[in-house]
Structure 1
């Protein structure tokens, strides 16, 4: 079970992480069959007797294992837990959450199936023998969190023993991203690699790999100085392992402060605070500083700025420009390597990846990336020398360079003949819509909206509000009685002053809200005392008034009341946005495709006009989420067959959209299989949809709810929402008893504001 909230070893964030990993089922990965398994024939083909055919084929031609099994898209993430993140040697079992996380990143960013394997052996020989035994079952091996210097020998030997790519990401991932940034930093400062004077502070696995990679790209041995915890690595120094000794130079310098005198570039992979202002001051003009220690860099950009203003700087942090993030490398390197069935990942492939990343940073930044950064238009320059993980072009930009290098160096079993076709194939694999929540999160961090949590006395809401604020997503305000909220804050392990609390009855704006609401409702049978009582006692009414009067930017509620009750309260205060109507939409991510459903929570039986308005609102929300809408009105029939009165309102909705001349694709009425089928044009060549539908307008709430729940429960889809659009202010209504994660996500949607009109 998760630790008690008073356990000093586990913070609130730690406890949320434990719950995340435990529920609804333990872990972060699972297995899904890629072939149907419903009938006896399916089973006969998948197993006995049908499986004998591919067995014989592979026995006759071992390389055909790539044709008949999933090997070519499978990566093993392997660790013995001797160097877990920044936690050290905690053992193989403790490394499993990290390895599962790495597997998820492979799938999310490169559509590779990755499986974690935790090996109990810390002895290098036994570890090597173990991995050698199962290694060729996979298309590639990603070694992770293995301590130095053993990791060097382990990777070297496994590369020799196995006929597949073996890649220790702790070493090479960081090296590749750092090298990409260094290419552009040199370009901006007018330097060449062969003239670059480099000092490396931190001689672990990652540090040595960085220095080795940039040496292979042109940096000279005599221009590099390596500094470890004992000082400068010089020739004749005793106790250095073979790989470290290979970087020793003839020098009288013994300290980092000595070494940096006049250096062009200072690379840090050591510890927080390792770089002092004095060190920064001694570097050459226009220096390059990569302070890559995690989670706290050797020196922060703010500290550097106090010393000089001519520095190009990168860190490992996402909250500073130029993040050296391994996720920019390993998914796409393995993607390119496996797509040509490479036997290894060699130096040329790593250099190709670094150069591709550098080249991508110089290209015009797409809207998706600008959106992820709050609308800021990133441009190649001192604060943008490395692409961001939010760039949707990575999947189809980086792998072709890696694959091409593999082909040119002769390590590819299956050369690619048409690289343009390969890029198009990779583009189809990309799924930028699956990053909806990441895009929202990155955007709202910039704006820091003030979000009201109406049910602020509930423990789950308190935890969600704290998570929202603690993650830097915005400012959280609890609507609650102070004594109750603070008691519950203590109960969940938070200090009394962790969050702002607003008591509706005692608020300085109470009378102002009552005056406004009475003027609005007096001709609808509300007496002044009725209005005052609602402002005092109904947190949804009070929260909506905060939005209406500009005292907050967004609101999330619904955990303790049914959504229809909440909507009645909120719409006493807030109107529909001009030219719109309230619509509940949901995003469902299934099998790497994202669908938006509308309406799922507001209008029970909309007429033709209502369906048209729902379509417009849902399409607008899709655009706000950077999804190009291809909208289908769903029905039990397709284009009048079979006919029925229930289809007439859908046909009327289509005619209304025709008259309005909207700027998105739409079609209907259509059966669900017709709307989602790429082959629809064979049966209905007149259809206006150029792609399978991704925005689905349902004829009624009950059909929307049934479809969405089936997709989630039976189809394994990830569902975000319902998300409310169409009100004059952003309000999000959680489902009754929603989880902390759901509440945080909806608070983010409220801060993002799906009603915003794109220009």
Structure 2
């Protein structure tokens, strides 16, 4: 459904209260005694306790349920570098989704610098406030260094959602698409259009779930990423170099089983789709307009599987299925990071949930009469309340089993609390 400029601006200024977030007290503040407990002199007692044991910050403050959503505005959606302040509506939007889907509180923070070193030091300095850091809308290739260095410096999860969020959902979608088209994960040819932060992270996630690196062919605005290419290169992109000569996307896509688009609109035509293997998997995820229109892909590949990043077509691959629930599990396990094991667990949990019967409330939310696992339904719907139960629990369990959790949860009791819409105690 299209959104007009006027509708969007009115929404963000609705009822004369600009923005989408507010801070609400969680303790009573009605009497003088309440004030004495909330602030001086009572606040001194938790201060002294935390000084002696930093872990007690999780018991006496909101740290364990608070995430920073941080950007410098250098890659805002598909709009490019619009500045730190212009990123604030998006950061607030991420905060709304965190709260809606996982009951996680957020402070959005816009850092006004283009210098990665200044950004890193700023985030590291304020990190004690938070239980996790969600990096957002930071341009490539700086985003790779920023995330890697911050995670090495900090003992809380640092997660660049533009990289890993889409990658985790893509992993789930591919697992099911391969099953439905009867393909083996170690035999497919995968072609990417887009070699930025999302494309590279998606390719890395596919390797983690079983796609051989040598079966991944990556293209960008300059064509195939090949060994020794002089232009538009950086180390993370070079990980996926193939061949030793230039080639166009049109050449590379021939014989591919899977196309993954994280680039720009209308780069793939009917002839390119017809050059792929029979019943291909086409994930055209550029927003708002995909690399190939859904109608064209579906018409050219009636036996294949088509997905986009849009909510008005089947099989939306969108990171809202990821970050709220991944952070929910990571926070509840008090994880020091979000590692590969946790990301893989999230992909497999989402893939498995898609095979479960669909509750009536989900059908009502999407105005559907019927929905079941198949070519038009390969990943769960974001408004399915079971996503938190399946994904957050899987992430928490992987954190515990991989040794990055500070907290040993009773996983069965934790699942019961998630099923009741509550985080860990």
TM-score band by shorter chain is: over 0.9
> Is 2:208 the partner of 1:216?
yes
Question: Equivalent of 1:397, from 390, 398, 401?
Answer: 390
1:601-653 deviations in Å (ceiling 9; x for gaps): xxxxxxxxxxxxxxxxxxxxxxxxxxxxxxxxxxxxxxxxxxxxxxxxxxxxx
The residue aligned with 1:180 is 172
The residue aligned with 2:55 is 63
> Is 2:385 the partner of 1:356?
no
Work out whether residues 136 and 162 of structure 1, in 8 Å CA contact, stay in contact via their aligned partners in 2.
no
The residue aligned with 2:7 is 16
The residue aligned with 1:308 is 301
How much has 1:225 moved relative to structure 2?
0.5
Could you say if the C-alpha distance between residues 253 and 278 of structure 1 is closer, same or farther in structure 2, counting changes exceeding 3 Å?
farther
How much has 1:19 moved relative to structure 2?
2.3
> Is 2:161 the partner of 1:169?
yes
1:114 partner SS: strand
Question: Equivalent of 1:115, from 107, 111, 116?
Answer: 107
2:106 partner SS: strand
Work out whether residues 181 and 304 of structure 2, in 8 Å CA contact, stay in contact via their aligned partners in 1.
no
How much has 1:86 moved relative to structure 2?
1.5
Provide the C-alpha distance between the structure 1 equivalents of 2:419 and 2:324, rounded to a whole number of angstroms. 14
Work out whether residues 298 and 306 of structure 2, in 8 Å CA contact, stay in contact via their aligned partners in 1.
no
Provide the C-alpha distance between the structure 2 equivalents of 1:12 and 1:281, rounded to a whole number of angstroms. 33
Work out whether residues 279 and 301 of structure 2, in 8 Å CA contact, stay in contact via their aligned partners in 1.
no
1:200-253 deviations in Å (ceiling 9; x for gaps): 111111111100111111111111100010010111111311111111122556
Could you say if the C-alpha distance between residues 20 and 44 of structure 1 is closer, same or farther in structure 2, counting changes exceeding 3 Å?
same
- TM-score, normalised to structure 2, is 0.96
Alignment of 1:601-620 (within 5 A): none
Question: Equivalent of 2:95, from 100, 103, 115?
Answer: 103
The residue aligned with 1:707 is none
How much has 1:427 moved relative to structure 2?
2.4
- TM-score, normalised to structure 1, is 0.54
1:151-178 deviations in Å (ceiling 9; x for gaps): 1111111111111001111111111111
Provide the C-alpha distance between the structure 1 equivalents of 2:89 and 2:24, rounded to a whole number of angstroms. 20
Provide the C-alpha distance between the structure 1 equivalents of 2:204 and 2:280, rounded to a whole number of angstroms. 20
The residue aligned with 1:133 is 125
The residue aligned with 1:329 is 322
The residue aligned with 1:242 is 235
Aligned residues: 420
How much has 1:189 moved relative to structure 2?
1.4
Question: Equivalent of 2:249, from 256, 269, 280?
Answer: 256
Question: Equivalent of 2:222, from 230, 234, 254?
Answer: 230
1:435-470 deviations in Å (ceiling 9; x for gaps): xxxxxxxxxxxxxxxxxxxxxxxxxxxxxxxxxxxx
Provide the C-alpha distance between the structure 1 equivalents of 2:64 and 2:73, rounded to a whole number of angstroms. 26
How much has 1:12 moved relative to structure 2?
8.5
1:374 partner SS: coil
Question: Equivalent of 1:147, from 139, 142, 155?
Answer: 139
How much has 1:14 moved relative to structure 2?
1.4
Provide the C-alpha distance between the structure 1 equivalents of 2:27 and 2:8, rounded to a whole number of angstroms. 34
> Is 2:328 the partner of 1:345?
no
1:314 partner SS: strand
Provide the C-alpha distance between the structure 1 equivalents of 2:244 and 2:279, rounded to a whole number of angstroms. 25
The residue aligned with 1:602 is none
Unaligned runs of 5+ in 1: 1-10, 432-759
Question: Equivalent of 2:148, from 144, 156, 172?
Answer: 156
Work out whether residues 136 and 163 of structure 1, in 8 Å CA contact, stay in contact via their aligned partners in 2.
no
Give the greater-gyration-radius structure (CA): 1
Could you say if the C-alpha distance between residues 215 and 337 of structure 1 is closer, same or farther in structure 2, counting changes exceeding 3 Å?
same
1:254 partner SS: coil
Provide the C-alpha distance between the structure 1 equivalents of 2:348 and 2:124, rounded to a whole number of angstroms. 32
Could you say if the C-alpha distance between residues 251 and 309 of structure 1 is closer, same or farther in structure 2, counting changes exceeding 3 Å?
farther
The residue aligned with 1:620 is none
> Is 2:179 the partner of 1:191?
no
How much has 1:24 moved relative to structure 2?
2.5
The residue aligned with 1:124 is 116
Could you say if the C-alpha distance between residues 391 and 71 of structure 1 is closer, same or farther in structure 2, counting changes exceeding 3 Å?
same
The residue aligned with 2:360 is 367
Provide the C-alpha distance between the structure 1 equivalents of 2:105 and 2:383, rounded to a whole number of angstroms. 21
Alignment of 1:638-717 (within 5 A): none
How much has 1:16 moved relative to structure 2?
2.5
1:730-752 deviations in Å (ceiling 9; x for gaps): xxxxxxxxxxxxxxxxxxxxxxx
Provide the C-alpha distance between the structure 2 equivalents of 1:58 and 1:50, rounded to a whole number of angstroms. 14
Unaligned runs of 5+ in 2: none
Alignment of 1:216-615 (within 5 A): 216-239=208-231, 240-252=233-245, 254-417=247-410, 419-429=411-421
The residue aligned with 1:50 is 42
Provide the C-alpha distance between the structure 2 equivalents of 1:183 and 1:253, rounded to a whole number of angstroms. 31
1:26-71 deviations in Å (ceiling 9; x for gaps): 1111111111111111111111221121111111111111011100
Work out whether residues 180 and 386 of structure 1, in 8 Å CA contact, stay in contact via their aligned partners in 2.
yes
Q: Which moved more, 1:301-310 or 1:375-384?
A: 301-310
RMSD of aligned Cα (Å):
1.5
The residue aligned with 1:681 is none
How much has 1:375 moved relative to structure 2?
3.5
Provide the C-alpha distance between the structure 2 equivalents of 1:398 and 1:219, rounded to a whole number of angstroms. 22
Provide the C-alpha distance between the structure 2 equivalents of 1:12 and 1:49, rounded to a whole number of angstroms. 51
